[in-house]
Amino acid sequence: MKTKPCDCCGQAVTVAYRFQIAPSKTWRFACPACLPAEQARPGYRYGGTWKGARH
């Protein structure tokens, strides 16, 4: 199973949420614990869910 470091807290997670904060075009990843704080920011844009687990 792959992991990805959360761009907010640095923790390696197996499920991460991709998002942008406008006007930035850079995609960042947030773990489930950090997502609510990012969603509350102005310019938040959801870009999909990354999963490290293979089906």
The residues of the shown chain that bind Zn ion, judged by CB under 5 A, are: 6, 8-9, 31, 34
Alpha-carbon gap, residue 26 to 31, rounded angstroms? 17
Closer to Zn ion by Cβ: residue 33 or 55 = 33
Closest distance to Zn ion from the beta carbon of 49 (Å): 14
User: Residue 13's Cα: distance from chain center in Å?
Assistant: 10
Closer to Zn ion by Cβ: residue 12 or 55 = 12
Q: Which pair of structure tokens corresponds to residue 1?
A: 């199973």
> What's the full length of the chain, in residues?
55
Closest distance to Zn ion from the beta carbon of 3 (Å): 12
